[in-house]
């Protein structure tokens, strides 16, 4: 029996890019590629563009989700649609467990989280580099405590996925994208979230502000490298504020290329621009995260784009973001 694969988030930034590259990925033989969609229109798109068989499902209908996994004998699920809660994943995992029981086939569940769940926003220590090979990661996530309830919940979610998968005999993987940049290749969402929020806040205040009082550090990866690996990708750390300020100033979108320190008044205005409370602004466009990837390189993956590449293409990134914003694509904020 070959593996039947289900990709969720087919219309998303990362999911769409992965599917766009699927045909040229030279994957080993597999059975059927399914793509979970929310409408018949999306279903037509994934079938025409990617050759995937669409599954129109409401993920809130857990009984139907589980039964569909069983009926289609799906053995691999890439869950790319909700990094912040564990509401729906157990239904997929339960179905995978039943497929394993009936067929004896190994089953796999990959859950997409984010580097924010390994940052100080989630209550994780950032005093030193945190490798993705660290044996303490499970305990760190399970015990995460944060003043931002959604951040702590999403960190705890990672541990819940592992526990649930283990209970059902399912192999689980926690995939943690970092600050991903570059133009997506899917048919719908074409931009990332965090860099868009930097631009949106800057447009409102006509200046780029640094929202951290210390040195903000964050891992970064081009969308094509993230999609090509599609496992655990985070490499080096850097700040993008200065490069974004230069690019915005070049386009005449802010007063100058000076990155100023945000005070309470500025944070309030940035919050208005982003549609969040002032104390949530740093969660969107700031912070410190020392999470560093090792697994990818151990299996032979090397990124095509080095971390500093984001600074070289910031002009292009800003130009594309502006086109998307002008077209009404606001993208979700925290979630």
- Contact partners, residue 320, CB within 8 Å, separation at least 6: 183, 190, 191
294 in a domain, yes or no?
A: yes
Task: Check whether residue 22 and residue 170 sit in a common domain.
Answer: yes
**Confidence category of residue 238, pLDDT binned at 50, 70, 90:** very low
- Is residue 143 classed exposed, middle or buried when 0-12, 13-18 and 19+ CB atoms within 10 A define those classes? middle
- Which of these three, 141, 175, 209, is where a domain ends? 175
Residue 310: predicted pLDDT: 74
Domain hosting residue 304, numbered range: 182-326
Task: Check whether residue 225 and residue 198 sit in a common domain.
Answer: yes
Q: At which residue do the structure tokens 């597999």 appear?
A: 30
By percentage, how much of the chain surpasses pLDDT 90? Answer: 23
Rounded to the nearest integer, the mean pLDDT of the chain is: 78
Query: What is the rounded CA–CA span in Å between residue 136 and residue 90?
Result: 24
334 in a domain, yes or no?
A: no
Count of domains for the chain: 2
**Confidence category of residue 57, pLDDT binned at 50, 70, 90:** very high
Task: Check whether residue 171 and residue 46 sit in a common domain.
Answer: yes
42 in a domain, yes or no?
A: yes
Task: Check whether residue 96 and residue 227 sit in a common domain.
Answer: no
- Which of these three, 115, 142, 175, is where a domain ends? 175
From 112, 126, 246, 254, select the one nearest 180 (Cα to Cα).
Answer: 112
Residue 90: predicted pLDDT: 97
207 in a domain, yes or no?
A: yes
The answer to whether the CB of 189 falls within 8 A of the CB of 12 is: yes
Tokens of 245: 């300020």
The answer to whether the CB of 218 falls within 8 A of the CB of 195 is: no
81 in a domain, yes or no?
A: yes
From 284, 150, 147, select the one nearest 204 (Cα to Cα).
Answer: 284
pLDDT, tens digit (0-9, with 9 covering 90-100), for 134-188 = 888 888 777 777 777 766 677 788 889 999 999 999 989 888 777 778 888 887 7
Residue 235: predicted pLDDT: 25
Task: Check whether residue 168 and residue 275 sit in a common domain.
Answer: no
Global model pTM greater than 0.85: no
């Amino acid at each position: 029996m070959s593996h039947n694969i289900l990709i969720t988030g087919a219309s998303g930034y990362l999911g769409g890019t992965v599917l766009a590259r699927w045909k040229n990925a030279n994957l080993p033989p597999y059975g059927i590629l399914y793509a979970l969609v929310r409408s018949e229109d999306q279903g037509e798109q994934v079938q025409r563009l990617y050759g995937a068989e669409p599954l129109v499902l409401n993920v809130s209908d857990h009984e139907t989700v589980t039964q569909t996994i069983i009926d289609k004998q799906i053995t691999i699920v890439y869950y790319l649609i909700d990094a912040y809660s564990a509401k729906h994943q157990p239904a997929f995992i339960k179905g995978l467990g039943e497929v394993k029981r009936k067929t004896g086939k190994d089953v796999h569940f990959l859950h997409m989280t984010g580097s924010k769940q390994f940052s100080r926003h989630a209550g994780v220590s950032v005093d030193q580099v945190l490798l993705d090979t660290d044996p303490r990661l499970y305990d760190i996530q399970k015990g995460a405590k944060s003043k931002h309830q959604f951040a702590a919940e999403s960190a705890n979610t990672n541990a819940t996925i592992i526990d649930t998968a283990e209970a059902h005999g399912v192999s689980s993987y926690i995939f943690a994208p970092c600050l991903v940049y570059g133009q997506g290749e899917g048919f719908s969402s074409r931009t990332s979230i965090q860099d868009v929020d930097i631009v949106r806040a800057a447009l409102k205040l006509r200046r780029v502000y640094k929202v951290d009082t210390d040195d903000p550090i964050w891992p970064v990866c081009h969308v094509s490298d993230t999609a090509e690996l599609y496992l655990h990708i985070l490499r080096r750390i850097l700040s993008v504020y200065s490069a974004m300020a230069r690019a915005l100033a070049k386009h005449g979108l802010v007063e100058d290329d000076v990155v100023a320190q945000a005070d309470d008044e500025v944070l309030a205005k940035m919050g208005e621009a982003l549609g969040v409370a002032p104390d949530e602004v740093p969660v969107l466009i700031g912070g410190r995260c020392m999470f560093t990837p090792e697994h990818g390189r151990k299996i032979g993956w090397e990124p095509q784009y080095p971390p500093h590449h984001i600074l070289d293409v910031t002009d292009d990134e800003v130009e594309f973001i502006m086109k998307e914003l002008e077209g009404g694509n606001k993208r979700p904020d925290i979630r």
